[in-house]
Chains A and B, each alone.
Chain A
Amino acid sequence: MKNHRATFETIYSDNYGRVLRLCLGYVKGDTELAKDLTQEVFVKVWENLNSFRNESAIATWIYRITVNTCLLQLRNKRYLTGTEALEKKTATEEETPFSNENRLAQMYACINKLNEESKGIILLELEGLPQKEIAAIMGLSHQAVRVRIHRIKNSLTKCVQHELL
């Protein structure tokens, strides 16, 4: 049990940042909601740790749990509507539309327009994961992921440019 907990602590500290960043993408950049969602992800990591079989890298396994936990949040209205923090942030930055923060806020807004699967794919791509790994997480063929990424990249870039103009 102690060993189990020590393993979990290592997994937690090694992966917290990337899980949080992915969750931020699902809740339009709302940090507080993303932290709550991250906590839900690690609750599930703990509950499923015994079933991890080393068939994939631990990071791939955690990304799967993250993407699926974020999908489960479709049930929770709080995660779908709570974006006051983001709106406030955007409103105060009207004078510097090309600031990094503003561009990030626009990215979150544009990512939010995508469907859940596309959201997952592009967030993993933004994290810099190889397409093969994204395919393994999403359960799609490598070819399908390649085509989807190309399409989403274009629409995301256009959307961010349009939102900033």
Chain B
Amino acid sequence: MNSFEELKSQWKGQPVTSAPKDGVQSIFDRIKVIRNDQKITNSILWTTVAVLVLFFVYVSAYRSQIAMTGLFMMIGSVLIRIIVELLSIRNLGKMDVALEASKFKELFRKYYQKRKIIHFGLTPLVIMVYCAGFISLLPLFKATLSSGFYTYIVVSSIVVLLVLGVFIARQIQKELTVLRALNQEVRE
């Protein structure tokens, strides 16, 4: 009663949807949005770098060896992670979507394998270096800041670290789900 041929004819009998009149324009609008998003991301990155460098100069970090090392560890680790993320996004965007589907799927799978290295190798290292930098600055903060502000910095940084940890864990979980699905496909 429902042979495949019947299903096929029902499939083909679906109402034909013609292209919307403003469809091409909406594609170009979308491309504009994508390019603007890229520009905004780049601007945010460079503004962050500028703010960090200004902060470095503002607190005269270059005068104290401890301050310089601590801030350098914090800023450097975050910057490296951001750059790696941007390169990773760029690599995904560069993948040739016109390839045969099986080759594309393999590229996509390899991309996620590499992401695993970033998540389980680089990211913990970045967090450790960042925390070590922050901890090395604590004696300096204690000596120069009021006890209230010092407590605020310590407590807020722990909260930020926890929130960030949850966010990163969720993101990793999401990507691992994709990788599992792709690996499953390879096995089937």
Contacts and interface: CB of A to CB of B under 8 A. Distances in A.
B26 to A, nearest CB: 7
Interface in A101-123: 103-104, 107, 115-117, 120
Given A43-B34, A138-B100, A116 B26 contact: no
Contacts, number: 130
Given A9-B24, A16-B19, A128-B12, A139 B100 contact: yes
Contacts of A75: 174-175, 178
A104 B10 contact: yes
A126 interface: yes
B4 A157 contact: yes
Interface string B17-52: 111100110111011001000000000000000000
Q: Specify which of B1, B7, B26 lies most central, judged by the most chain A CB atoms within 10 Å of its CB.
A: B7
A126 B11 CA distance: 7
A64 B97 contact: yes
Contact of A48 (B18, B31, B98): B98
A122 to B, nearest CB: 10
A117 B34 CA distance: 28
A124 to B, nearest CB: 10
A116 B105 contact: yes
Contact of A43 (B31, B108, B185): B31
A100 B10 contact: yes
A64 B12 contact: no
Interface string A32-45: 00000001001110
A107 to B, nearest CB: 6
A28 to B, nearest CB: 14
B99 A17 contact: no
Leading 5 A-B pairs by shortest Cβ distance: A139-B100, A16-B19, A139-B102, A126-B11, A68-B97
Given A43-B27, A65-B98, 19 more contacts: A17-B16, A46-B31, A47-B31, A61-B98, A65-B97, A68-B98, A68-B99, A68-B101, A71-B108, A72-B108, A74-B181, A75-B178, A104-B10, A115-B185, A120-B101, A127-B11, A139-B99, A139-B102, A156-B7
